[in-house]
Amino acid sequence: MLFQISELIIRDEDDNVISNNDTYHSHTSGLHDDSNESYDKALDSNTNTKWLDIGKGDITFEYPNGKIVGSYMYKTANDFNARDPISWKLEGSNDNSNWTTLDEQTNIDITTNRYANAQNIFWSVTI
Ligand SMILES: [Ca+2]
């Protein structure tokens, strides 16, 4: 099972996009080793590049000064609609040990358009 996204956009509680320059991020358990399609390509503000993952890896964001995440979205990539994620879980932690589910989506309907927001509304974090 593989998936791809061109951009992952995370907004704060005031709907301002949280800059990826203000975070530390890392990736676990992905198996794709093409550096041209590594996870950080979902964080480069360029819809023409993508993260392609054949291992269903996770991205972890660390905000040194803390952030309240309000909503988020991903953009589809260039090809193969079947690679668009339709199920996932977003979790948050204040101590990198105890994790709380902030949002979970399962088998949702998303756009068939390429380089586009997966849905017309951002997914809200409800905690
Ligand atoms: Ca990109």
Q: Tell me: the pLDDT tens digits for 27-80?
A: 765 566 677 888 889 989 999 999 988 877 788 888 888 889 999 999 999 999
Q: Compute the Cα dihedral for 112, 118, 121, 124 and give only its sign.
A: positive
pLDDT at 31: 61
C-alpha 28 to ligand 1 mean position (Å): 18
Distance in Å, CA 105 to ligand 1 centroid = 22
21: left (phi over 0), alpha (psi -120 to 50) or beta: alpha
**What pLDDT was estimated at residue 117?**
98
Neighbouring residues of 2: CB distance < 8 A, sequence distance ≥ 6: 32, 52, 53, 54, 56, 83
Q: Count of domains in the chain?
A: 1
What is the pTM assigned to this prediction? Answer: 0.89
Average pLDDT, the chain: 89
Across the strands, what pairs with 27?
Answer: 59
- CA 48 / ligand 1 centre spacing (Å): 6
Ligand 1 geometric centre to CA of 116 (Å)? 12
Q: Which SS3 state, helix, strand or coil, does residue 23 take?
A: coil
- Give the per-residue pLDDT at 32: 63
Neighbours of 127 (CB within 10 A): 10
Range of the domain at 22: 3-124
